[in-house]
Structures are given as C-alpha cells and as structure tokens.
C-alpha cells in the first residue's frame, strides 16, 4: 500500500512571485496559469495563490521563486516548499549572459560609455547603492501585508495599515 502511494506522489515545481504575507514561516506565492475559454477558444492568464514553507526567510516581496509541492501538507494552508530564489527583485541579471541589466542595456556598456564621454553628476552609481532590504522594518514595510485604514480608533491600533486619502 505504501509503495503504491509513494509512486502516485508527484513532485511538481512551479515558478511564482512572492507577495506580502502575514504568515510567520511561510511565503505567499502568486503562480500564474493559463485558463482556456471554450467559448472563444483563447487562453487567459489567471493566478493561483499558494503558501510555501520558508523557515529560512529566503524570499522577499517581489522575488521570483521556485517552489515544489510537498508530499504531505504541513498545515491546512501550507502545501508547497520554497526551493530557491531564481530572480531577486531589484538587480536584474540577463539569464543568457549573466550580466547585470538596466532597462534594455547592460551595465558594463553604460559604465564604458560614462568613461568615454565623462560621467555626469546626476548619473546613478550602482556600485555605491545599498543592498535591498537594508531598511526593512525601519522605513521599508513592503514585506508586510498592508490594509487601508478606514477609521480612526485609539483602542484599535491597526498596525499594518496605510492611511486612506
């Protein structure tokens, strides 16, 4: 019986984007899929949201990550596990050449052009820029799930809210 069950368990890998989550050891992941519409015979993009077990806190909001299904559910919600961070949000790397990219140009080309023609004072220096996540918990709260603040109540602090205009 156990051999049959083990043979039917299929490990599936998915590529998804990490979104803000209020879970402690889990990341909420948006996994896109194509849904076929029989009436007009076209595919439309739809998103599935799953929770992936992430005890090491590998992924941050906006990262593209690789997840796999767990053989058994950890909890009612956590059904997947984070394998690795494929593309962190921020510094974009060309997957073919391995070079860092800004918009549609390589950073090497931009730096070479700055050396040839002279660097302006307003040019952004990527080598001096701080790493992502430096102000997390101090000024940057993008890793937390946020809500709109609809009312003012001193008894209800509403810690993760954004004031509505």
pLDDT bin (cut points 50, 70, 90) of residue 4 is low
Residue by residue, what is the 3-state secondary structure of the chain? Answer: CHHHHHHHCCCCEEEEEEECCCCCCEEEEEEEEEEEECCCCEEEEEEEEEEEECCCCCCCCCCEEEEEECCCCCCCCEEEEEEEEEECCCCEECCCCCCEEECCEEHHHHHHHHHHHCCCCCCCCCCCCCCCCCCECCCECCCCCCEEECCCCCCCCCCCEEECC
| Cα separation, 51 vs 75, whole angstroms | 10
**CB 93 within 8 Å of CB 108:** no
**CB 31 within 8 Å of CB 48:** yes
What pLDDT digit, counting tens, does each position of 125-158 carry?
887 877 766 666 666 666 666 666 677 777 876 6
pLDDT of residue 23: 84
User: Which residue did the predictor score with more confidence, 103 or 141?
Assistant: 103
pLDDT of residue 66: 96
Strand 64-69, strand 100-102: pairing: unpaired
Taking the model in full, what pTM does it have? 0.67
**Where are the domains positioned within the chain?**
12-89
* The CATH classification of domain 12-89, taken from the options 2.40.50.140, 3.30.56.10, 2.40.170.20, 3.60.20.30: 2.40.50.140
| Cα separation, 120 vs 106, whole angstroms | 18
What pLDDT digit, counting tens, does each position of 46-61 carry?
999 999 999 898 888 8
Percent of the chain with pLDDT over 70: 77
pLDDT bin (cut points 50, 70, 90) of residue 160 is low
């Amino acid at each position: 019986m156990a051999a049959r069950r083990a043979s039917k368990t299929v490990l599936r890998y998915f590529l998804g984007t990490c979104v803000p989550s209020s879970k402690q050891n889990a990341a909420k992941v948006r996994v896109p899929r194509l849904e076929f519409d029989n009436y007009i015979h076209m595919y439309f993009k739809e998103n599935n949201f799953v929770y992936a077990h992430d005890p090491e806190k590998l992924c941050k909001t906006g990262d593209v990550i690789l997840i796999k299904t767990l053989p058994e559910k950890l909890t009612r919600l956590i059904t997947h596990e984070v394998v690795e961070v494929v593309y962190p949000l921020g510094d974009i790397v060309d997957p073919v050449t391995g070079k860092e990219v800004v918009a549609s140009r390589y950073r090497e080309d931009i730096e070479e052009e700055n050396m040839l023609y002279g660097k302006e004072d307003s040019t952004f220096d990527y080598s001096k820029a701080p790493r992502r996540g430096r102000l997390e918990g101090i000024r940057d709260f993008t890793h937390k799930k946020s809500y709109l603040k609809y009312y003012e109540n001193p008894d209800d602090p509403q810690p993760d809210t954004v004031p509505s205009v």
